[in-house]
Amino acid sequence: MTKLKLDDLKKIRDRVHNETMLREGGATAKVTVHMGTCGIASGARQVMEALMEELTLAGRRDVTVTTSGCIGLCSEEPLVTVEILGQEAIRYHFMDKNKMRQVFRRHVLEGEIQTDFALGKGTEHKE
Amino acid sequence: MIRFRSHLLICGGTGCHSSGANEVKKALEAEIRKAGLAEEVRVVETGCNGYCAAGPVMVVYPEGIFYQKLTVADMPQLVGEHLLKGRPVERLFYREPAKKEGIPGMLDIPFFANQQLIALRNKGLIDAEAIDEYIARDGYQAAGKALLEMTPAQIVDEMKKSGLRGRGGGGFPTGVKWSFCAATPGDVKYVLCNADEGDPGAFMDRSILEADPHSVLEGMIIAARAIGAHQGYIYCRAEYPLAVRRLNIAIDQARVYGLLGDDILGSGFGFNVEVYQGAGAFVCGEETALMRSIEGQRGMPRPRPPFPAVAGLWGKPTVLNNVETFANVSPIILKGGDWYASIGTETSKGTKVFALTGAVHNIGLVEVPMGTPIRDIIYTIGGGIPNKKKFKAVQLGGPSGGCIPEEYLDTPCDYEAIIKAGAIMGSGGMIVMDETTCMVDMARFFMDFVQDESCGKCTPCREGTRRMLQILEKICHGHGVPEDLTLLEELAGMIRESALCGLGQTGPNPVLSTLRYFRNEYEAHIIEKRCPAKRCAELVKFVVNLEKCTKCGQCFRACPVGAVSWEKKQPARIDRAKCIKCLTCISTCKFDAID
Ligand SMILES: Cc1cc2nc3c(=O)[nH]c(=O)nc-3n(C[C@H](O)[C@H](O)[C@H](O)COP(=O)(O)O)c2cc1C
């Protein structure tokens, strides 16, 4: 890898923007498991394992799974964010393996938001 | 011995029994035998699972699938599909009871709506282990600007304009600190990041490092450019393994991209960072002790001056800033000091991150504009006090800080206003306490912490804090005398004036602030030999108040040593010969009926 110049930063930004924003790059859904210490302590690893198993079972290549840090609401961990192309993100709280399986099968695969487990929709980042 | 490939844990609690678990279990076992699986799967009856309303319930391992509302009629399908063919029967899966209301927008949730994110701008949005995702959120743009378009003096000016003050507790203006170090001549200088975070109850810095390590690295690069340093260290406690790991990953990725190392972004400027793990002594968060520790010596403070900006790490000019301070730098460089200074109050600019914890609904991390009343943080964002308890006080600044009682809850987040109210902004620990907290016991806890963490170098801190602790223990045990309060105040004054470093100088603060606002509690302990919050076991009588007792028997069930006797429709009685004064009955009783 050669060293970056300022232009390269902009190129990376644009490329990743597209990927993470689900606009292009082929992904239609992204699932983020929030894995700070608080999340891990309350079971985020198990949630992630269940998610990976489900993903393998489903064999879907257009679903990306990623991790991120704490969103601040440590008392409601494990938290998971599901983003489907063209729809508002949904944040789920107090997740466990079973809820994760259900969210994956019903929301990610079939588009049916699992209202019972949801904390909120959209994002808290005002921009 | 047979090794089973699957375990079926069927609930045998009373609830599930009455909803037919027994019959279901028999039918299940019969189906298993019929399918010839008796040697492969094992049915186990367990204690109550807790989801009685959905019973009979069963969990199937290794998959961990939770079935609910099982009937005898479901068993052939369950065995045939799940156990034989490995296809879990979805229609029997557990579902949480449906909520009637729709899903609120994140910004309709008060916890999020009232925050403003600068230091935490990337929280929950990016993968902390993927530098590209940081770059996608304008990461390293500020470093590019600082290195390619600005002079060191311009960087310092922008920081001064922003009004950013150190978030590690001292609140010293960051731009001014950088300007001192920039003005000190020398070819070897250092930039240090303080990630020691020793305050009990604080987790702001850990969270930033775990969620967004590059924001700290970028702030350090900009600081290095401003003062002319080429080497930096992040002093992070070893008890933060995830933070250390993510920092090291971030550093490696930044090196590969040439964002650390020589000639960053083709600017000709070079800077490197290493993580140094501390062993977790509180005093090592103090700047001179921290530098000793990095030098490989025992972490003990030394008198200042000389200040680190003149003679710091290995005697070289050094800038030390806190994690959160560095996380604020990139947005300031990108959007300008004026933008940052437009947020907040006259003397306190920008936002502050707090670790909200204790007796509050939403325990977590919040970032609010300076000037936000503390009441809003606890009630609007924090959701108030759980279990219908009354608010008593909030402790800010940990062992160096003080508490703020109800009367001063409208104090805004502002360095000076909080000092006026008898506490300090501190690094952001915010511990909420309800009426069940004894303020004398709380002061004793922090004094115990301080005397434990005292490095022992100077006499006032080593001996003084121990003496103060002994007096507080005496009061908590019911042996206090009225003169103790004056003695505490006198000692506090002396330690404040004469201790070598901030640890001792601020150590008496929790005692002084509780004496200021809760003197009556001290007096109750000393004069009436009574602990109003019923936390100091020696001062609790452990006698059931017959007027208040509702005969519910909760204390009887909770007592771990069988010291409480109770029968239906009879008040409880405590056998004081058996009682070990563990206070379990007191915390269990909802009616305040044990004196
Ligand atoms: C006993 C003691 C412990 C400290 N612990 C920390 C700490 O854990 N983290 C921190 O950033 N600053 C801590 N400080 C403050 C540092 O000495 C220093 O002021 C600060 O790191 C400077 O950075 P800032 O200007 O960005 O706040 C502590 C100070 C004392 C006296």
Taking residues B560-585, report their average pLDDT.
Answer: 93
> Facing residues of B396 across strands?
B402, B430
Average pLDDT over residues B149-172: 97
CB contacts of B109 in chain A (<8 Å) are 119-120, 124
Kindly provide the residue ranges of all beta strands, DSSP E only, lying in B260-363, ordered along the sequence.
272-278, 318-322, 351-358
In this complex, the residue of A3, A9, A36 whose CB is nearest that of residue B210 is A36
Which residues are CB-neighbours of B339 under 8 A, at least 6 positions away? B332
Q: Is the pLDDT of residue B4 over 90?
A: no
Where is average pLDDT lowest: B43-52, B55-64, B175-184, B242-251? Answer: B43-52
CA–CA gap between residue B544 and residue B592 (Å, rounded): 9
Nearest CB partner across the interface for A68, out of B105, B112, B125: B125
In this prediction, residues A67-95 reach a mean pLDDT of 92
**Percent over 90 (pLDDT), chain B:** 81
Nearest to B136 among A17, A69, A118 (CB): A17
d(CA B169, CA B354): 12
A38, A69, A115 member nearest B103 (Cβ):
A115
Q: What is the pLDDT of residues B443-465, one digit of tens each?
A: 999 999 999 999 999 999 999 99
Angstroms from B103 CA to nearest CA on chain A: 5
Confirm or reject: Cβ of B173 under 6 Å from ligand 1.
no
- Angle (CA) B332-B334-B339 rounded to 5° is 50
Which has the minimum average pLDDT: B38-52, B181-195, B488-502?
B38-52
Please work out whether the CB of residue B169 comes within 6 Å of at least one atom of ligand 1.
yes
B497: number of Cβ within 10 Å: 10
Distance from the alpha carbon of residue B234 to the mean position of ligand 1, in angstroms: 13
Tell me: pLDDT of B91 over 50.
Answer: yes
Mean pLDDT for A86-110 is: 92
From the CA of B167, how far away is ligand 1's center (Å)?
Answer: 8
Given a cut of 50, whether residue B311 has pLDDT beyond it is: yes
- pLDDT value of position B49: 58
Yes or no, beta carbons of B207 and A113 under 8 Å apart: no
What pLDDT, on a 0 to 100 scale, did the predictor assign at position B52?
66
pLDDT tens for B460-503 read 999 999 999 999 999 999 999 999 999 999 999 999 999 999 99
**Residue among B227, B287, B503 whose CB has most ligand 1 atoms within 8 A, to mutate:** B287
| pLDDT tens column, B316-328 | 999 999 999 999 9
DSSP letter for each residue of B349-383: BSEEEEEEEES-SS-EEEEEETT-BHHIIIIIIT-
What ipTM is given for this predicted complex? 0.83
Read off the pLDDT of each residue in B12-23 and give the average, rounded to a whole number: 79
DSSP H/E element including B573: strand B573-574
Question: Parallel, antiparallel, or unpaired for β B6-11 and B41-46?
Answer: parallel
* A37: nearest CA partner in chain B: B242
d(CA B417, CA B425) in angstroms, rounded, equals 9
Q: Which atom of ligand 1 is nearest to the CA of B501?
A: 31
**pLDDT-derived band at B85, boundaries 50, 70, 90:** confident
Nearest CA to ligand 1 atom 24: B166
pLDDT in tens, B340-374: 999 999 999 999 999 999 999 999 899 999 999 99
Residue B100 pLDDT level (bands cut at 50, 70, 90) = very low
Domains in chain A, CATH or no CATH each: 27-121 (3.40.30.10)
Please choose from B178, B209, B239, B322 the residue to mutate so as to test ligand 1's pocket, defined by most ligand atoms within 8 A of CB. B322
CB-ligand 1 contact for B453 (6 Å cutoff):
no
> Does pLDDT of B538 surpass 60?
yes
What does the mean pLDDT of chain B come to?
A: 93
Segment (H or E) for B324: helix B323-327
Nearest chain A Cα distance for residue B166, angstroms: 22
Report all structural domains of chain B as residue ranges with CATH numbers, in order of start: 6-113 (3.40.30.10), 131-341 (3.40.50.11540), 351-434 (3.10.20.600), 439-528 (1.20.1440.230), 540-595 (3.30.70.20)
Cross-chain residue pair B211–A70, CB shorter than 8 Å: yes
State whether B123 and A71 contact (CB < 8 Å): yes
Mean pLDDT score, B5-29: 83
**Residue B528 confidence (pLDDT) above 70:** yes
Atom 2 in ligand 1: residue holding the nearest Cα: B286
Residue B389: pLDDT over 70: yes
Q: Omega into A78 within 30° of 0, i.e. cis?
A: yes
Return the ligand 1 atom nearest residue B174 CA: 25
List CB contacts (< 8 A) between A83 and chain B: none
By Cβ distance, the residue of B111, B140, B210 closest to A37 is B210
Residues of B in contact with A98 (CB under 8 A): 64-66, 93-94
Q: Is the CB of B321 under 6 A from ligand 1?
A: yes
Q: Could you tell me which residue, B308 or B68, shows the higher pLDDT?
A: B308
Query: Do the Cβ atoms of B328 and B314 come closer than 8 Å?
Result: no
Provide mean pLDDT across the span B205-213. Answer: 94
How does pLDDT run across B250-292, given as a tens digit for each residue?
A: 999 999 999 999 999 999 999 999 999 999 899 999 999 999 9
Does pLDDT of B583 surpass 80? yes
Give the pLDDT score at B96.
Answer: 54
Which residues neighbour A121 within 8 Å (Cβ) at sequence distance 6 or greater? A88, A89, A90, A91, B103, B104, B105, B106
Q: B431 C-alpha vs ligand 1 centroid, how far in Å? A: 19
